[in-house]
Structure formats: structure tokens, C-alpha cells
Amino acid sequence: MPRTSVKAQSVADFISELVQTDNESPTQPGEAWVMRVDGSSTSSGAGAGLVLSAPDGRSFERSLRLGFRATNNEAENEVLLAGLRLSREMQVDAIHILTDSQLVAEQLDGRYEAREPTMVKYLAKVRSLASDFSRFMISRVPRSQNERVDELAKMASKSDSGAQTEVERLPFRAVSISAVSSADSRSTWVQEMLLFKCDGTLPADQTAARRIRRTQAWYSKVNGQLYKRSFSHPLLRCLEPEEAQTILAEVHEGIYREHIVGRTLACKILRQGYYWPTMSRDAKSYVQRCGPCQKHARTPRQPAVPLTLIDCAWPFEQWGLDLLGPFPPASGQRRYIVVGVDYFTKWVEAEPLATIIERQVEKFVWKNIVTRFGLSRAIITDNGSQFASTRFREFYANYEIQLKFSSMAHP
């Protein structure tokens, strides 16, 4: 099939970075390449940037967005590992790393000790890759000398970047989180099930032990990974809690940014071959915390409680009465309005008032309702003193009109 069109900027980047002209001399063996790295971790995500410079002046820039939650130190180690892998693919013999992270530089030099299990794993991985180079050096530089890589890292850490530089995505960590968890940390459901599958070990918690005995027939161990059998799907890979959060973020707001709702999100992850027990509840909770989903979601129109019907047999049988105001003064210092609405025809009677005393309300009912439409069966009001007074109750009793009070509400 014919090849689709390629953006001119991509072609230009390919030519400028990878095509060697005739007047360029090849890099001499033993000359050290310089790689500047920096990581950034913000509330919207984590990113990293690197600039790899050859001895002949050529440079290669990369902006990397991490597809998982990472601290600033973890982002620094991730970009360092990515840069070392890139250098090894380009057959770089000697390399000099420049970073503004004192922790990364001093740990590799041996002056600082890596105490956190995650940092221990990262340090071992970096030293393993560094052994492939004939010369490996790392130096700490001020942040002012790392401005370009800092810009690349911040650009990648933003959820929506308008820059023209292409942002690559690292969906998974370079080290395994399950392998660096501390011994006294609480074991996950995957680890508990794997232990039972290996040697029949059950957790001390009786509830968890009963759950494992009840559900263990649905799970299988394949190459050290836990999988769940299903009726209509192939084996589903069981995920740890942190892996589940990564998959949720990738499917919900990853490269396609579909922002699907909770139930659809859980079903889509299931069709992709992943499973964990609380995936439906976690998917719903993740969508509820998603900012764009809350801004652009449809506003629910369904009432919070079932509607209550008010029966009216004939017109002007039942009226609703209320007072409005105060408003800006009109002629005669009238600042209030007394309103009556018929429940059957929705006919409205209103009159401006200067004062809202019982005599004025009684006069309005007699003049605008009784003399025009006849005696009503009932009038519904709120608990205002003008309607609940003894004089008003006697007025209703004389004409056998039922006085009803509506429920209090504070919208």
C-alpha cells in the first residue's frame, strides 16, 4: 500500500541528526561524548530531557514523558538509563554525564549511600549499563548550565504541551517496583496468591485466607506471573496496585485521550487482557478524580428524589401563597410583592405592598382570590409569621378554607 505523507519537520530532523555530510570527519575512538540529563516531576505527570553531544559538535535531543508516577529522583534515574541505552545503540565508547542532581551524581561516585530500595535498584541498573563503556564519568553542574534539558523535561511533564519538539513516552519503569518493596511492607493480593500457588502458604488474616481458598481455582501461575482464567477471554494478567494505576492512566488519558466513563474503562482494560479484583470500583473512582472529565461531562438532569404529585380536581381549588422582596422601592415605598398561584391553571395573582403585615395579606386574599374566583378548598403557604398568625387562621376558619404549610427548604 502507498506510504502516507510524512511531516516536513520530521524529515528535517532526520536529515539534520542522522545524515552525515562528506565534509564531516568521523568521531575518533576514545573521544568522550557529553550527555546532559534532567528530570521533572509535577502534579500533572513526570518527564525527562536529555541532550547527547558528539565530539564533532553534533547533538541529539530527546524529551521523554513517563507513563507512571515518579518522584524527581526517580525521573532523574529514568532519563539517565534511557540516555545510556541510546548511547550504547549509537556505539558510543566513552561518555561524560552532566546532571544537576546531587543525589544521582554522588551515589554513582560512591560518596552517598543509596538507602531506599528503589534507589538501590536504580543504582545497580545504572552501574550495569555503565560497565559497557570504556570510560564513564559523571559530574554535577549548576542548574543554570542545564537550561535546555530542563526545558525538555518540563515540556514532557506537562499533560498538554504545545511545543513542536516530539515527546516520546516511556510507559513502564526501568526497574520492577515489586522487587524493591520493603520486607515489612504489606503484601499485595497478587503476592499472596502466588505464595499459595507455590507452596500453599496462606496469610495470617483469616478473611484473606478464606478468600484465597475460595478463588484459587480461577488463577494460574505462568513463568512467575499470575493469570486469571475467564469464560470468554484468554488468560488475564493480574496486576499489582501500582501497575493497575498505570494501566488506568494509559487507557483513560493516554495517547488517544478518549476519557471514557468508569464502566466502559473497566471493560476496555479487561478486553486488553488485564485484571485485578477492584477494577470496576477503581475505574469509577479514577474517572471521578479526572479534571477534564469533570469539566466536560454531561450535567445530570435526573432529580435527586422522586417527584411528588399534587392532585387538583378543578380550577382554583388550591392556591399557593408567598411573599417576595424586599426590592428597590417603587412609588408609595412599595418594596414587597404578595403572589398567589393556582395549582390547576397556573394562574398568577400579584400585588405590590409597602408593608407585609397580616392585614395586608388578608386583604389580598379577599380581593384577588375570593371575590374573583370564589372560595378555595385549600391555600398552601410557608411558615411565615404573616400566614401562621392567629388572625390569619381565624380568617381561613370563617370561610372553611384549609390552611396547609409547605416543608422547609434552603436551596
- Assign residue 73 the CATH number of its domain: 3.30.420.10
Give the mean pLDDT of 292-305.
82
Q: Residue 175 domain-assigned? A: no
In a domain, 379, yes or no: yes
**pLDDT band with cut points at 50, 70 and 90 for residue 409:** low
Number of domains in the chain: 3
Amino acid 164: pLDDT: 52
Model confidence at 2: pLDDT above 60: no
What phi, psi does 351 have (nearest 5°)? -155, 135
255 pLDDT tier (thresholds 50, 70, 90): low
pLDDT for 16 beyond 60: no
Is residue 162 very low, low, confident or very high in pLDDT (cuts 50, 70, 90)? low
* Per-residue model confidence (pLDDT) at position 159: 52
Residue 8 lies in a domain: no
Is residue 75 within 8 Å of residue 47, measured between CB atoms? yes
Question: What three-state secondary structure class fits 236?
Answer: strand
Read off the CATH number of the domain in which 228 is found: 1.10.340.70
The pLDDT value recorded for residue 275 is 92
Q: Examine the pLDDT at 24 and tell me if it is beyond 70.
A: no
**What torsion, rounded to 10 degrees, do the Cα atoms 359, 361, 366, 370 define?**
-160
3-state secondary structure of 216: helix
pLDDT of residue 342: 94
As a whole number, mean pLDDT of residues 243-255 equals: 84
Given a cut of 90, whether residue 20 has pLDDT beyond it is: no
Q: What is the pLDDT of residues 34-66, one digit of tens each?
A: 888 888 877 777 888 888 888 888 888 888 888
Here the cell at position 231 is 469464560
Q: Is the pLDDT of residue 359 over 50?
A: yes
Q: Helices (DSSP H) in 50-160: which residue ranges?
A: 72-89, 102-109, 117-130, 147-157
Same domain, 62 and 160: yes
pLDDT value for 30 = 59
With respect to residue 322, please indicate whether it lies within any of the assigned structural domains.
Answer: yes
Quick one: 202 and 164 in the same domain?
no
- Choosing from 262, 296, 330, the residue where a domain stops is 296
Q: What integer pLDDT is reported at residue 202 of this predicted model?
A: 87
pLDDT above 60 for 386: yes
Domain boundaries, position 188: 184-296
Residues 6+ apart with CB under 8 A from 408: 382, 383
